[in-house]
Structure 1
């Protein structure tokens, strides 16, 4: 029996201007996939040229123009995500955002998980553990506010769609959409969005906010709950290291005078309950079945 095929896909716009490590992101997945579909929105920088410069016959580019009037809860991101997914031809489709990477040491684990579950139709998606780096690449954020696991690899033979850029819903037999049934991928997603320069993050949120019909918050990495941060003791993917050197924040200090928001106070309480009772209150867009 032949191996299940895997398509990688993503979308990106103004990736250089907004500080995305999108080139490293795409390259990190290329050894695993049979093709990689990249939807590139019309940009103000050389994002398209940089994607074209990735030297791989697996990369297939679709150019788009975003609907600037679509300001309903980030649905434009869902539109771009699904343009890319609908162009995928593999048995499975692997979605990787422009600030996410997979580690070269875990590619074999992902392949093994696909092979293990491909023959079981009850498993519709694979779930990855997350490293959300914050402030600098030396720290990760870990609290109920940060999703600890998420689906990033889904069967490309079932009816799925994205209500926004982050997650999928499954539709079948005209029933109410539901979360995918999933198994663990036994691998991590390395999420670097919150270690890009503070200036680049502010530009990103300024652009994102108009698609959510609200004003952009002012970003200061120092304004954060220190109890959420944990030291990162692992290794970073090799491909992201040049970006970390050139574009990531090198240091930051939590403001000792920072006052927690009501939301952060609630999350502190939930963290205490998690620790005491072995619970996990972070949001989940899947149901583990294997």
Structure 2
């Protein structure tokens, strides 16, 4: 069984992306790792090429015409995916602000072995934890996606969808997936407030025809509807970042700021044991 990792990145140093940690977290599973590195001058390329000999860099230029709906992110993902070795069975996608806990590596590998030759299975579905403000809190409202595809078969019919959150194949078909008992830890909302604001301002241009919709000096983490305390351990690759954290964020988790719509969703979710009204599911579980 051959496994390829793939990702894309641009301005990782400028916007404080934990991309080294992201890639390193799944490298033990990968025989090669393809990274599409966008045009930037902050040292990102050198950062990536020094991670491991398994890394293969694809130099790219982001398409300036794809600045609506985040579609340029899917375009960059597809560039990396297309360069994966033809003889790979599985492709593990990780974004620059995500990480796989090392405890889940055996579980993921077992699932890959089990479904490698099952032609009904297009990919593997992971659970998610979304950290916010610091490494101590996770998002608790229904707006945070609970599951997403991160491992796919090496099928040229598969492509990154919309803003690269997930995948589809052929004529806009959802992938058929098997759920794996493993979590992806998403750290996209954990940065120094200054870096977070700079990143969000830049990121918003990818959805609004190049015009930033968020501006300011520091990001205000207090404007959040609800959080829960994280109980568990972080991936080892993230430990040095946690030790180097130089800002403070404390939140009273007993306080919520739900809209009426969110209150209804929360009520139904608790009543049914987990059902979320209108939950976005870009996959078919089999």
TM over 0.5: same fold? yes
- Structure 1's unaligned 5+ residue stretches are none
Contact 1:42-1:66 within 8 A present in 2 as well? yes
CA RMSD of aligned residues (A): 2.0
Shift of the 200–258 alpha-carbon distance from structure 1 to 2, 3 Å rule, reads: farther
Aligned residue pair count:
276
- Residues 256 and 132 of structure 1: is their aligned pair in 2 closer, same or farther, counting only changes over 3 Å? closer
Give the direction of change, closer, same or farther, for the CA distance of 1:47–1:254 in structure 2 (3 Å limit): farther
For the residues of structure 2 that align with 1:128 and 1:114, how far apart are their CA atoms? 13
TM-score w.r.t. the length of structure 2 is 0.90
Question: Is 1:6 aligned with 2:8?
Answer: no
Give the 5 Å matches for 1:105-124. 105-124=103-122
Q: Is the 8 A contact 1:113 1:186 kept in 2?
A: no
1:203 aligns with 2:198: yes
SS of the counterpart of 1:23?
A: helix
Match of 2:152 among 151, 154, 157: 154
Alignment correspondent of 1:48: 45
Question: Cα gap change, 1:284/1:257 in structure 2, threshold over 3 Å: closer, same or farther?
Answer: closer
Does structure 1 retain, via aligned residues, the 8 Å contact 2:202–2:212? no
- 1:136, 1:248 within 8 Å by CA — same for their partners in 2? no
1:61 aligns with 2:60: no
Q: Aligned-pair distance for 1:114?
A: 0.6
Aligned mates of 2:246, 2:78 — CA distance in 1: 29
The 2-side partners of 1:149 and 1:210 are apart by 26
1:231 to 229, 232, 235: 229
Matches within 5 A, 1:209-228: 209-213=204-208, 215-217=212-214, 219-226=219-226
1:286 equivalent to 2:272? Answer no
CA displacement, residues 84-110 of structure 1 (integer Å, 9 cap, x when unaligned): 011112211111000000111110100
Question: Which segments of 5 or more consecutive residues in structure 2 lack a partner in the other structure?
Answer: none
- Structure 1 range deviating more: 74-83 or 154-163: 154-163
Distance 1:269 1:215, change over 3 A: farther
